[in-house]
Amino acid sequence: MNPFRSQMEREAWDKVKGLAEFSRQTLVAKGINDNTARDFIKRWVHGGRIDEMRVEGTLRWYAPKGALPVENDLPAPAKDRSPEANMWRAMRQLRTDFSALDIAEHAITADVTVTEAQARTYCRQLLKAGYLAVHQTAIHRVRPAKYRLVINTGPRAPLIKRVVGVLDQNEDKFLPLDPGVS
């Protein structure tokens, strides 16, 4: 089970885990919204991460039980996170005309990098396959091509496959293999 629901909760915990005691107001003073601080404290008490130490009027004071393991604090990246998956997701979510640079910028995540060249190649291949249409043609060194998604088949990204075949180096011939023939 993941001990933190978000990066924000992890950062809030990092701010208070070394303190002898803290209150909700301590979190608020460190930049956490009051309602968010209340939710974090409820989760931490329920999860056994902190103990309520004392009550002064309406203010409750808590103390961390000690450092918990930090491995796997945040969810592991999803298995379908690839440059193609991120670019396809960006195309579907933009819902407007986009350039290869727009796609590259929207597809970058902490674990996946996408260059403008990769995005340009992917856009060109989807254009050839009929998934994209050119909405605005490119003018060399003036403006990039703008595309529009015209075939949206769902959340799984279309993958670009290379032709499989046999290269006969003796005769310098390439014979594509028919995928239907075993």
- CA angle centred on 160, ends 155 and 164, rounded to 5°: 140
Write down the pLDDT at residue 87.
Answer: 93
With the C-alpha atoms ordered 74, 118, 162, 171, is the resulting torsion angle positive or negative? negative
With the C-alpha atoms ordered 150, 151, 156, 161, is the resulting torsion angle positive or negative? negative
Write down the pLDDT at residue 180.
Answer: 56
43, burial (CB in 10 Å: exposed 0-12, middle 13-18, buried 19+): middle
Burial 111-142 (b: 16+ CB within 10 A, else e): eeebeeebbbebbeebeeeebbeeeeeeeeee
Residues sharing a CB contact under 8 Å with residue 104, sequence separation 6 or more, in sequence order: 87, 114, 115, 116, 118, 119
Instruction: Report the length, in residues, of the chain.
Output: 182
Write down the pLDDT at residue 85.
Answer: 92
Query: What domains appear along the chain, each with residue ranges and CATH number?
Result: 7-64 (1.10.10.10), 83-149 (1.10.10.10)
Q: Cα separation of 114 and 144, whole Å?
A: 17
Going residue by residue through the chain (182 aa), what tens digit of pLDDT does each one get? 457 788 888 888 888 888 888 999 988 888 888 888 899 999 888 888 888 888 888 889 998 885 443 444 444 445 557 899 999 999 998 878 999 999 999 998 888 899 999 999 999 999 999 999 999 998 988 999 999 999 998 888 998 887 788 888 888 888 888 765 54
Write down the pLDDT at residue 80.
Answer: 59
Write down the pLDDT at residue 77.
Answer: 46
Read off the tokens for 54. Answer: 């004392």
With the C-alpha atoms ordered 73, 79, 83, 84, is the resulting torsion angle positive or negative? negative
Write down the pLDDT at residue 31.
Answer: 87
CA dist list (Å): 116 to 86, 120, 146: 13, 6, 13
| pTM passes above 0.85 | no
